[in-house]
Amino acid sequence: MDSSPISSQREIEEFFTSLLSGLKEEDLRELTEAAEVRSLPTGVVICREGEEGDAVYAIVNGELEILKQLDDESERHLHYTGPGEFVGEMAILQQGPRTATVRTSKPTTIVEIRREPFMRVLKRSPTLGFRLLLRLTDRLRDSDQQSIAELRRANEELTRALRKLERIDKTKTDFIQVSAHELRTPVASLLGYAQMLNDSPAVQDNAQLRTLMEGIVTGTNRLHRVFNSILDVSRVMSEGTEVRRSPVSLSVIFDGIAADLGQALSERDLTLEREGLSALPIYLGDPDLLYKAFYQLVNNGIKYTPDGGRIRASGRVVKAPSLGECIEIVVEDTGIGIAREDLDVIFAKFYRTGEVALHSSGTTKFKGGGPGLGLTIAQGAVLAHGGLIRADSPGYDEETCPGSRFIVQLPLEQPATQAPADPSPGDAPR
C-alpha cells in the first residue's frame, strides 16, 4: 500500500479501487464521496470500547493498536493492524457498542466513512460484504492463533509458578512440622512438671500458688494442643498419608469422643446424641485418624452451638454414586450455622465462622478461639481413607441458630493392597 498521503477525490477512489477490487462504479463513487481523510499523530484514540459505533475506518498508512479494557480499568493489548485493513465495522454490522478501543501507535492516515452511506453500499453490494467477510475471517484466525500462543505462555508461566509454590509450600510444611515437633517435646515436659507441681500439697494449701499453677497448666495444655494440631495437619495434608488400617468400631470411636468431651458438654449444658452407630459394620480404617476426624467435627459443633443446644451423630450404610456401598456418618448441631458462600472454604486452614474470640481460654467455649485447623484435619483424615466429607447449612444466623451438618462417607470396599494391621478391633485413641 502506498504510504504517501491522499487528499483528492481521485486518490481516495484509487485507494478504494485497490482495496475493494470488483466494487461497482456507483458503489465506489458513493463511498468516495462519503469518505473523510484524517491524518493523526501517535496516541490518538479513534474509537473507544463501549461507545456507539457510528463510522468505519480504513487504514491508508501507519499503524493502529487494538486494546481491550479489563475489569480493573486497565487495558490489554490485543494486536496491531496496518494499511489496507478496516476497523470499526463490527459495531456497525452488529448495531451495537464498540467491542475494543482503537488508538494510533504511530502517525497514521485513515479514511472515515459514516454509518449510513457504508450500510447503503453494503446492502446492495455482495462484493463489499464478501471482502469484509474474508478480512473478518483472517482476523479471527490471527486472533485465535494469538490467543492460543498467549494461553500456552500463560500455562507455562503458571506451571513454573505452581512448581515454585509447591517447593516453597513443601519447605514451609517441613519447617512447621519440625518446629512443632521440637517445640512439643519441651512443652510436654513442662506440662508434666506443671501438673506435678499443681498436685503437690504445698501448692494446694496455698490459694495464690494454686491459682498461678492452674493458669500455667491451662496455658501449657493449650499450647500443647496447638502443636498437636499443627502436626496432625502436616500429616493429613502431606501426599501419600499413611493409613494404618485395622478393624474399627465407629461406635467405640464416638464413645471415646463423648468421654473426652464430657466435661465440656456438661459445662455448656449441651447434649451429644448418638443414633445408629452401634448397628454399623466394623470398618477397616486407621483408628487414630478416624478418631481425630470425628473428634474435630463434634468439637466444632460444641464450639458453634450456644449453651443448652444439641449435637447429634448418626450413622447408616448407604450407596454413594462415586464410592459404592459406604458408611455415612452425619454430625449435626443446633448452632449458628454457616453462610452459604462459605460452605466451599470452611475446610481451608485457619477458617473460622463469624467473629471468633481471639483470646478464648478454651476451644470448647462458645465461638472460642483456636488455630482454625480442626476441619482441615477432619477433611484430610477422611480423604486419606478414600472417603468424602461435605458441609451443609441453611445459612449463618446467631439469632435463629439454623445449625449445620457435616456428612462423612467412608467406602466399605477397601483397596486390596492395604491389609489389616491388627486383627483385633481398634480402640478409640484418647
CATH of the domain at 338: 3.30.565.10
Would residue 382 count as lying in a domain? yes
Neighbouring CB atoms inside 10 A of 70's CB total: 9
Dump pLDDT digits (tens) for 30-47.
Answer: 888 888 899 999 999 998
Dump pLDDT digits (tens) for 203-252.
Answer: 888 888 888 888 888 777 777 667 666 666 666 665 556 788 999 999 99
Would residue 168 count as lying in a domain? no
Question: Phi-psi category of 283—alpha, beta or left, where left has phi over 0 and alpha has psi -120 to 50?
Answer: beta
Per-residue pLDDT, 117? 86
Dump pLDDT digits (tens) for 183-217.
Answer: 767 777 877 878 888 888 888 888 888 888 888 88
Per-residue pLDDT, 352? 56
Would residue 223 count as lying in a domain? no
Domain boundaries, position 389: 243-411
Q: Where are the alpha helices (DSSP H) in 89-206?
A: 89-94, 115-124, 126-199, 201-204
The single-letter DSSP state of residue 298 is H
Tell me the C-alpha distance between 357 and 372, whole Å: 12
Tell me the C-alpha distance between 314 and 247, whole Å: 20
Residues constituting the chain: 430
Q: Which three cell numbers mark 123?
A: 446492502
Region 44-70: what's the mean pLDDT? 89
Where is mean pLDDT largest: 3-12, 147-156, 264-273?
264-273
Tell me the C-alpha distance between 354 and 141, whole Å: 51
Q: Are 292 and 327 in contact (CB under 8 A)?
A: no
Q: Are residues 249 and 104 in the same domain?
A: no
Would residue 314 count as lying in a domain? yes
Phi, psi of 324 (to 5 degrees): 80, -150
Q: Which three cell numbers mark 291?
A: 478418631
Per-residue pLDDT, 168? 76
Per-residue pLDDT, 198? 80
Q: What does pTM read for this prediction?
A: 0.51
Would residue 21 count as lying in a domain? yes
Per-residue pLDDT, 210? 81
**Domain tally, the chain:** 2
Per-residue pLDDT, 359? 43
Where is mean pLDDT largest: 88-97, 184-193, 258-267?
258-267
Percent pLDDT > 70 in the chain is 77
Q: Count Cα atoms within 13 angstroms, Cβ side, for 107.
A: 4
Q: Are residues 120 and 248 in the same domain?
A: no
The single-letter DSSP state of residue 53 is P
CATH of the domain at 92: 2.60.120.10
Would residue 198 count as lying in a domain? no
Residue 71: pLDDT band (50, 70, 90) is confident
The radius of gyration of the chain's CA atoms, rounded to the nearest angstrom, is: 36
- What residue has cell string 485395622? 246
Helix (H, G, I), strand (E, B) or coil at 379: helix
Region 402-421: what's the mean pLDDT? 76
Q: Which of 87, 108, 124 is the last residue of a domain?
A: 124
Q: Are 291 and 254 in contact (CB under 8 A)?
A: no
Would residue 368 count as lying in a domain? yes
DSSP helix, strand, coil percent of the chain (3-state; round to 5): 45, 20, 35
Region 414-421: what's the mean pLDDT? 49
Dump pLDDT digits (tens) for 347-387.
Answer: 875 555 555 444 444 566 666 655 567 888 889 889 989 99
Would residue 384 count as lying in a domain? yes
- Minimal CA–CA distance to 47: which of 71, 64, 61? 64
